[in-house]
Structure 1
Amino acid sequence: MKVLVVNNYGQFNHLIHRSIRDLVPARMISNQTPAEEIEADGLILGGGPTLERAGRCSEYLTRLEIPILGICLGLQVMAETFGGRVEKGAVGGYAEVEVEVLEEDDILKGLAPRIKTWASHADQVVSLPPDFRVLARSEVCEIEAMGHKKRPLYGVQWHPEVVHTEGGIKLLENFLEVCRR
């Protein structure tokens, strides 16, 4: 099994890659890589500074038929690609955010009902795209995690790869289980 991590120029992309590489063979790729060159069992859209710098991530979401996990900016690109809306958040900068798991689903399976996460809400999803459901929320943001109703597409606002996030590695392991199916 091989998972690729898309580098969207965020400060945690190398840590995402490292966390996945510790579990399965993984490689980081540029967000300018053409979709037809991507051969993997799963894809992770990493974080980054702005939607404008997300390269071909929308193309990956619409053209690739593999499981995709969006982290932070990756979640936001996923939402916009499928008709949701992203706006500036009221709380910028990274901080601890307590998240309430509403639906365990594939990626949140086995996590506690409430988890402490490390997240930035400088930008956040404010309108859920059609065919998606909310998986988690917080007092800061109503859409902390979402999943597609039919396709293996998932997104989280928080960073599961950092040590400050409870159950973060479990979330990544759950995503890898989806990739193995």
Structure 2
Amino acid sequence: MSELHVIVVSNLGQFNHLIHRALRDIEVLGEVFIEPELVENTLSLHEMRSLEPDALIIGGGPDIEKSGNCIQYIQQMDVPMLGICLGHQLMALAHGGKVGRGRQGGYASVEVEVLAEDDILRGTAPRIRVWTSHMDEVFELPPSFERLARSSICEIEAMRHTTKPLYGVQWHPEVSHTEKGELVLRNFLEVCAAHKSAQSRRP
């Protein structure tokens, strides 16, 4: 059985440990064993690379000023990545998008319209209720990214790179309040497993 080493980068958010726990609960994906690890965002780029991750999940947090070295990881590491909440915003900034204050701050249940049921949103309903904060949000997509979901209060609730396995969601798939949250994480892991398999077949 092959292993998939997924590193969850903590941005000091209250739900970061739940991402790690959710991945442990999935544990096995087909013939792939999931090996999650939770680390601080203060690791240097060299230290992060030395952990040899197959994928990164950039977690949520209070603000961009406390995001450590996440921008470096996003810009300089060539592995599949999922940005959650602040991680979603950091991914946008790292690739030339724009982030700003949202119209609605604080955590709340929000109905999201899925525009592209592909990759990480495969199998979700056309509309799902998610647990999210819009204190800050992505309001301009980075070049080469496409929008995957929107809501009545935010036009970019989820996004993906058009050619690379890079994804971002404004909401928290790791919490029980979010519909289809485990499915989103499982879909991401499937993308990661397929990417690792394809890389191993390269000459």
Q: TM-score range by the shorter chain?
A: over 0.9
Separation (CA, whole Å) in 2 of partners of 1:35 and 1:63 = 8
Separation (CA, whole Å) in 2 of partners of 1:41 and 1:22 = 18
Separation (CA, whole Å) in 2 of partners of 1:10 and 1:2 = 22
Separation (CA, whole Å) in 2 of partners of 1:134 and 1:148 = 9
Superposition pairs of residues 51-70 of structure 1, within 5 angstroms: 51-70=64-83
The residue number in structure 1 matching 2:170 is: 157
Separation (CA, whole Å) in 2 of partners of 1:120 and 1:70 = 14
What TM-score, normalized by structure 2, do the two folds share? 0.87
Separation (CA, whole Å) in 2 of partners of 1:63 and 1:79 = 14
The residue number in structure 1 matching 2:180 is: 167
Residue 32 of structure 2 is aligned to residue 19 of structure 1? no
The residue number in structure 2 matching 1:123 is: 136
In the alignment, residue 14 of structure 1 is paired with which amino acid?
H
The residue number in structure 2 matching 1:9 is: 12
Residue-pair matches, total: 181
Cα distance, 1:104 vs. partner?
Answer: 1.3
- Greater shift in the superposed pair: 115-124 or 35-44: 35-44
Separation (CA, whole Å) in 2 of partners of 1:110 and 1:169 = 11
The residue number in structure 1 matching 2:200 is: none
Residue 89 of structure 2 is aligned to residue 76 of structure 1? yes
Residue 25 of structure 2 is aligned to residue 37 of structure 1? no
Cα displacement string for residues 14-40 of structure 1 (whole angstroms, at most 9, x for unaligned residues) = 111111122222110110112233311
Dislocated runs of 4+, deviation >4 Å: none
Q: What secondary structure sits across from 1:116 in the alignment? A: strand
Higher Cα Rg, which structure: 2
Cα displacement string for residues 117-156 of structure 1 (whole angstroms, at most 9, x for unaligned residues) = 0000000111111100000000010000000011110000
Structure with greater helix percent: 2
Gaps of 5+ in 1: none
Separation (CA, whole Å) in 1 of partners of 2:149 and 2:19 = 21
Match of 1:103 among 103, 116, 120: 116
Separation (CA, whole Å) in 2 of partners of 1:52 and 1:142 = 24
Cα displacement string for residues 40-67 of structure 1 (whole angstroms, at most 9, x for unaligned residues) = 1111000000111111111111111110
In the alignment, residue 35 of structure 1 is paired with which amino acid?
L
Superposition pairs of residues 131-146 of structure 1, within 5 angstroms: 131-146=144-159
| Percent of residue pairs identical | 58
RMSD value, Cα: 0.8
What TM-score, normalized by structure 1, do the two folds share? 0.98
Match of 1:88 among 93, 101, 107: 101
